[in-house]
Amino acid sequence: MRRSASIVSLGVSLLAVFAVISGGCRARDTAVEQGLRDQILHRGFSPDIADLDPHVAMMVSDYGVISAFFEGLVAEDPRDLHPVPGVAERWTVSADATAYTFHLRADARWSNGDPVTAADFLASWRRALTPSFGCENAALLYVVRGAADFHQGRTTRFADVGFAAPDARTVVITLDRPTPYFLSLLQHWVWWPVHLPTLEKAGNPYARGTRWTRPETFVGNGPFRLKEWTIGQRIVGVKSDTYWDAATVRLRELRLYPMEDINAEERAFRGGQLHVTEAVPAAKIDAYRAAATGELRMDPALGTYFYRLNVKHPFLEKREVRQALALAVDREAIVTRILRGTQVASAAFTPSGVAGYEPPQGLEYNPDAARARLAAAGYPGGQGAPTFELLFNTSENHRAIAEALQEMWRRELGLSVRLVSMEGRTVLDARRTRQFQLLRSSWVGDYADPMTFLAVWRAASGNNYTGWQSPAYEALLDRAEDTRLPEERCRLLREAEGMLLQDAPLIPLYRYTHVYLLHPGVRGWHSNPMGRHPYKRVWLEPTR
């Protein structure tokens, strides 16, 4: 499918928005230059966010939007993202490392002036864990005692879950077992609170689709409050005067633009309309390298670019077929020829070096083995194999990679692949309902531990989507969770990932490096492996 007309019109509408912004500036002044003077950050992101609700938001890029409007118990240091006090001014940990007591700030406020209380957190976590709500990230709360049982309907008593609020300013969380990465896990948006009275005014707080996140009704507790949300055009946040640490916030305003057409995004940056982009067209990378202006950024990222396979599809349910597809992928060619050497080819799902973990080798490029696996599945030379679909969200880079895979599978295996391109929201719907055969995907770690990658493939995970499940795989993860010995834990996780890669419900392509454009006037924007940049620590300075 070609790029849809709606994407083309989106690019036109965004250019119109930029024209209006620039029109208010003096002659030869761009939105970027005016922003540098007035502390207004213009940032592109992709794909468009589906919802500002932290219990509904799913995409990696969603963090760059909703983090402006919400804050959890802990926040992040802008340099290395280690946990720092957020709504909780301090915390203590029990001797057995299973109980955390958080003490909330007396001056923590919602944007409507209400105090942020312990009851707000408990009510929010109950919402995320309520089975009928369908929070895809609910499994990130499973480290808490009884959370999995409540979410999976084995108990209906929320009082049995390890959350307690002894008073309005104290939250106690009791875990199933010691979890070394727990404080980092709390930085994920599914742990952030929502203002239940606001949700109740908009409808059922346990139902999706209520309009509480519209600017006229929105209430958050982050450093910015929502001023405008024009779907498909821009989201505007202004500095919140109720935020407990407002004195630290130097930006006066955020203007965030959804741009799925990265060529249009690059033109907007070059035209002085954006301070930061989400990506760079692969074809432009060499030019920016040669220009050596310092605008091209290539930050290491804790993430993997891969394809999900629907193992319930009649063709893809055969393990040998999935293995053949994985073995026929020349990842080095994709990284070198299409991505201009900006990423790291990998046949593993988990990046290396995370908490001392090194992943197994995976199904690396081997055309002869690929053809043998396909023949064993009953399709020698591709004979009798059906045409299958490869779905990706609209992007020039994604299309180029999809076309490369299409040609590799045709050349090496004799298979016919149809490429299907859709807008981001439509892809999310297809992913959630498993209406796909192969689906372009990415995963960026929620915390710095290999479990943030491997737990994705549990049967109960809200992020699996493939239909694949393995009790043996999950038993290995459980054993790894129970051990206190780091080397034994890594060994068990490596064995589990090896099993996953051999079953091939996914095809990893490369480890991420975040390649984007950053104006030199943006300060406090530090390279880190999760690509998170707390806006309260970002500011702008004129460069001339």
Q: Where are the beta strands (DSSP E) in 413-505?
A: 417-422, 438-444
217 assigned to some structural domain:
no
Q: Name the more confident of 417 and 356.
A: 417
Indicate the residue type of 215. Answer: P
Q: Are residues 309 and 404 in the same domain?
A: yes
Q: Are residues 346 and 464 in the same domain?
A: yes
The predicted-structure confidence for 196-213, as pLDDT tens digits, reads as follows: 999 999 999 999 989 999
| Per-residue pLDDT at 200 | 96
Does 47 sit behind a cis peptide bond, omega within 30 degrees of 0 on the bond before it? yes
| Per-residue pLDDT at 28 | 60
Mean pLDDT of the chain: 92
340 assigned to some structural domain:
yes
Q: Has residue 368 got a pLDDT over 60?
A: yes
Q: Are residues 327 and 472 in the same domain?
A: yes
- Cβ-contact 465, 434 below 8 angstroms: yes
Q: Are residues 509 and 525 in the same domain?
A: no
Q: Is 293 helix (H, G, I), strand (E, B) or coil?
A: coil
Q: Are residues 319 and 435 in the same domain?
A: yes
Q: Are residues 131 and 194 in the same domain?
A: yes
Q: Name the more confident of 252 and 49.
A: 252
Residues comprising the chain, all counted? 544
261 assigned to some structural domain:
yes
Q: Is 271 helix (H, G, I), strand (E, B) or coil?
A: coil
Q: Are residues 365 and 232 in the same domain?
A: no
Q: Are residues 247 and 347 in the same domain?
A: no
The CA-atom distances, in angstroms, between 473 and each of 88, 149, 410, 454, 492 are 36, 20, 32, 10, 10
| Per-residue pLDDT at 155 | 94
The predicted-structure confidence for 109-131, as pLDDT tens digits, reads as follows: 999 999 999 999 999 999 999 99
Q: Are residues 165 and 185 in the same domain?
A: yes
The predicted-structure confidence for 443-477, as pLDDT tens digits, reads as follows: 988 888 899 999 999 998 989 999 999 999 999 99
492 assigned to some structural domain:
yes
Say how many Å lie between the first and final Cα of the chain, rounded.
45
The predicted model scores a pTM of 0.79
Q: Are residues 23 and 100 in the same domain?
A: no
Domain containing residue 503: 302-514
| Count of structural domains, the chain | 3
Q: Are residues 348 and 481 in the same domain?
A: yes
Kindly indicate the confidence band of residue 378, based on its pLDDT and cuts at 50, 70 and 90.
Answer: very high
- Cβ-contact 481, 520 below 8 angstroms: no
208 assigned to some structural domain:
no
Q: Are residues 126 and 105 in the same domain?
A: yes
Kindly indicate the confidence band of residue 55, based on its pLDDT and cuts at 50, 70 and 90.
Answer: very high
Q: Has residue 21 got a pLDDT over 70?
A: no
